[in-house]
């Protein structure tokens, strides 16, 4: 009874929509929730996420609960939504999808990522996320080509966002054969030198990389650098953020002048902006700092993804108790009614 009540409160909060992050609610999703089974999933308001993929998620126990607001025209920040942790504009473009996971409305969010549009919103809210260039592709899926605000052609990937890595692991492991062909001890791992202290070298063989300048380099420079890294290493790990805390990480804003470019660079988005552009797999793992996280990157070779998830679990830390207490108790939203 308690679990069903909690999911009813999730629907109440979605319908209340006080953060303006929900476009549509499907209240009948509660019919698929029991005391032991069923979860809620929200999807970004874009046609790229196919109906057949949503149906496949329902077969896995994830019931379509909301359609989530996205930033206008795929912009990297959303002027309509506020990040409840920073009080600043929410990172885009899968802004509402990430926000609805953070608020507890949904267990899993499905967004799309062109130049960081899943990974960056997730990191800004200290959430887990994953993008894969083949995720969600069905017979009715058409690979579209777009152009970024800085003129780079790309095809968006579908991505997953969650508070719990286990939800992402479940979906990705059922979508792909992740049987590893090498052991984790054989992985060639290049690690941002600022994150080196997170690794016990008796468990993982890591090589430090000086990723200086990743926040000031152009996307083209970052693409070239990341491609070079992935030639030499199986996995690249970059610590990034705080996302959009000290700056305004948006090309539309940043292109005007040297001053606005400097403010854009202060948003601390590095390789997170180009993982999808090289059609790689990326995972974000929350760090303890606000809007900070570890970005794990590998080529879209499924036999490496299980090991990538293993590293993600290794880097995981306990949820922030204060944040969980402040935002996680859904009953607090309804003490004064709706």
Task: Copy the structure tokens of residue 8.
Answer: 């009813």
215 close to 268: Cβ distance less than 8 angstroms? yes
pLDDT band at residue 309 using 50, 70 and 90 as cut-offs: very high
Q: What Rg do the C-alpha atoms of the chain give, in angstroms?
A: 19
Q: What is the 3-state secondary structure (H, E, C) of 118-160?
A: CHHHHHHCCCEEEEECCCCCCCCCCCCCEECCCCCEECCEEEE
Average pLDDT of the chain, as a whole number? 94
User: Is the model's pTM score more than 0.85?
Assistant: yes
Encode pLDDT of 165-176 as tens digits: 999 999 999 999
Report pLDDT for 77: 95
**Domains within the chain, CATH numbers bracketed:** 2-178+321-334 (3.90.1300.10), 184-300 (3.40.190)
Report pLDDT for 1: 76
pLDDT exceeds 80 at position 308: yes
pLDDT band at residue 153 using 50, 70 and 90 as cut-offs: confident
Dist. CA 240–CA 334, nearest whole Å:
36
**Which of 154, 133, 168 lies closest to 219, judged by CA?**
154
130 close to 159: Cβ distance less than 8 angstroms? yes
């Amino acid at each position: 009874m308690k679990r069903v009540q909690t999911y009813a409160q999730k629907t109440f909060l979605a319908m209340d929509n006080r953060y303006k992050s929900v476009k549509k609610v499907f209240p009948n999703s509660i019919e698929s929730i029991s005391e032991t089974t069923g979860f809620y999933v929200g999807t970004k308001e874009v046609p790229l996420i196919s109906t057949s993929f949503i149906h496949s998620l329902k077969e896995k126990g994830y019931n379509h609960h909301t359609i989530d607001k996205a930033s206008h025209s795929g912009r990297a920040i959303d002027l309509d939504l506020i990040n409840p942790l920073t009080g600043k504009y929410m990172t885009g473009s899968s802004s509402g999808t990430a926000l609805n996971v953070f608020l507890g409305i949904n267990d899993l969010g499905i967004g799309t990522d062109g130049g960081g549009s899943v990974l960056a919103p997730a990191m800004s809210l200290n959430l887990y996320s994953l993008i894969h260039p083949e995720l969600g592709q069905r017979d009715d899926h058409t690979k579209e080509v777009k152009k970024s605000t800085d003129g780079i052609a790309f095809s968006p990937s579908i991505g997953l966002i969650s508070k719990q890595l286990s939800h992402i692991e479940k979906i990705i492991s059922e979508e792909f054969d992740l049987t590893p062909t090498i052991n984790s001890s054989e992985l060639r791992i290049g690690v941002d030198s600022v994150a080196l202290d997170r690794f016990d070298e008796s468990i993982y063989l890591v090589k430090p990389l000086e990723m200086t300048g990743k926040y000031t380099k152009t996307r083209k420079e970052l693409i070239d650098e990341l491609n070079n890294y992935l030639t030499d290493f199986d996995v690249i790990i970059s610590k990034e953020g705080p996302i959009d805390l000290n700056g305004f990480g948006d090309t539309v804003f940043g292109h005007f002048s040297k001053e606005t470019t400097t403010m854009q660079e202060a948003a601390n988005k590095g390789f997170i902006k180009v993982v999808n552009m090289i059609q790689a797999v990326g995972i974000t793992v929350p760090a303890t700092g606000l809007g900070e996280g570890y970005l794990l990157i590998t080529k879209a070779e499924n036999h490496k993804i299980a090991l990538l998830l293993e590293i993600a679990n290794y880097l995981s830390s306990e949820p922030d108790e204060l944040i969980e207490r402040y935002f996680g108790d859904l009953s607090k939203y309804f003490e004064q009614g709706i």
